[in-house]
């Protein structure tokens, strides 16, 4: 952060103990948000900026200005960054500015790149004011991604993108599918409306409403991003109109059943028309 030197963690404790209260030289009209405001100490800065390697701690100061006629009690907190304040809760007298030192710790496992957060100040009535914080984690920039879990469904293609690097990626996607007789789908590279932070996994899908009804298709997705990131994945699928196959199978089964029934009926009818042969029994009497 400007106006603040990088200091090792142990030496920050004395710095956090300091809290400066300064009377305002000139009173200003009360502001809408209770007559108080918050800003980076030193003036002229719209936000905080910190830069450091993983595991380091950066220091700066936030000013809470009470231009009202009554004291105001506020709480300070950080969002999106690991902020520690000399006084997380304090009362600022009327027409007084309180300068509160705080530190921002860069996580030891943080990947190089930019992170965003805020310093938030809230009064007893629930009114808040915030100041943006931009944290840049030092280290080599690496652009890398992978395409995983590719699957082809009835009308869509699903897949996952994983950012394996240290920079935020805006991926570009190209899709190609080849059937038995040539290409059945070819979409030129286009930028996807997503931003993929380092370490994040994102599940996406690609619509394919006109998938072939009967074919054997090889689908290939190729994803690229700035910095040389590139990966591809392939999947094979057999497109079969199972509804038609089921109907045809049912029809064939029905025809076979009808044939068997008719055959059995014919045998039964033939048996009734020709009664069985009965041998005449000899009585031993000659006529």
Structure token digits, residue 211: 């998938």
pLDDT at 217: 95
Q: 24 or 186, which is more confident? A: 186
Residue 238: φ, ψ to 5°: -100, 120
pLDDT band at 265 (very low <50, low <70, confident <90, very high): low
Mean pLDDT of 193-207: 94
Question: What stretches of the chain adopt beta strand conformation (E)?
Answer: 20-23, 36-40, 48-52, 57-66, 72-79, 82-85, 89-92, 96-105, 113-123, 128-137, 145-152, 156-163, 172-179, 182-191, 201-207, 215-225, 229-239
- pLDDT at 100 (0 to 100): 96
C-alpha–C-alpha distance, residues 24 and 63, integer Å: 12
Cα 64 to Cα 62: distance, rounded to the nearest angstrom: 7
- Regarding predicted confidence, which is higher, 259 or 96? 96
4-41 pLDDT per residue, tens: 333 333 333 444 556 777 776 543 333 435 689 999 99
| pLDDT at residue 276 in the model | 44
For 169-246, list the strands marked E by DSSP.
Answer: 172-179, 182-191, 201-207, 215-225, 229-239
**Residue bearing the bigger pLDDT, 20 or 185:** 185
How much is the pLDDT for 185?
A: 95
Global confidence as pTM = 0.53
pLDDT of residue 35: 87
Backbone angles phi, psi at 250, to 5 degrees: -65, -40
Whether the per-residue pLDDT at 247 is higher than 50: the answer is: no
Give which of 158, 54, 184 is closest to 107, Cα–Cα.
54
Q: Could you give the 3-state DSSP secondary structure of residue 95?
A: coil
Domains, in order of start, for the chain: 9-137 (2.60.40.10), 145-239 (2.60.40.10)
- Is pLDDT at 219 greater than 50 in this prediction? yes
pLDDT in tens, 71-93: 999 999 999 999 999 999 999 99
């Amino acid at each position: 952060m400007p106006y603040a030197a990088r200091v090792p963690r142990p030496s920050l404790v004395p710095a956090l103990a300091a809290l400066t209260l300064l009377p305002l030289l000139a009173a200003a009209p009360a502001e809408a948000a209770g007559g108080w405001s918050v800003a980076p100490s030193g003036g002229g800065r719209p936000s905080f900026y910190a830069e450091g390697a993983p595991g380091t701690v950066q220091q700066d100061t936030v000013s809470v200005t009470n231009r009202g006629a009554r004291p105001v009690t506020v709480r300070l907190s950080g969002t999106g960054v690991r902020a520690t304040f000399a006084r997380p809760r304090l009362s600022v007298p009327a027409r007084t500015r309180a300068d509160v030192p705080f530190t921002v710790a860069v996580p030891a496992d943080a990947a190089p790149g930019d992170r965003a957060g805020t310093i938030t100040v809230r009064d007893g009535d629930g009114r808040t004011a915030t100041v943006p914080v931009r944290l840049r984690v030092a280290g080599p920039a690496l652009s890398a991604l992978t395409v995983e879990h590719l699957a082809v469904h009835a009308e869509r293609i699903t897949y996952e993108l994983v950012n394996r690097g240290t920079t935020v990626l805006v991926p570009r996607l190209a899709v190609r599918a080849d059937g038995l007789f040539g290409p059945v789908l070819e979409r030129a590279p286009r930028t996807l409306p997503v931003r993929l932070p380092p370490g994040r996994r994102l599940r996406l899908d690609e619509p394919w409403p006109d998938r072939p009804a009967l074919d054997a298709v090889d689908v290939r997705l190729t994803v690229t991003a700035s910095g040389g990131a590139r990966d591809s994945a392939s999947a094979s699928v057999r497109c079969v109109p199972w509804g038609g196959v089921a109907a045809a199978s049912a029809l064939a089964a029905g025809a076979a059943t009808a044939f068997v029934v008719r055959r059995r009926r014919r045998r039964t009818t033939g048996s009734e028309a020709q009664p069985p042969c009965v041998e005449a029994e000899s009585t031993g009497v000659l006529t």
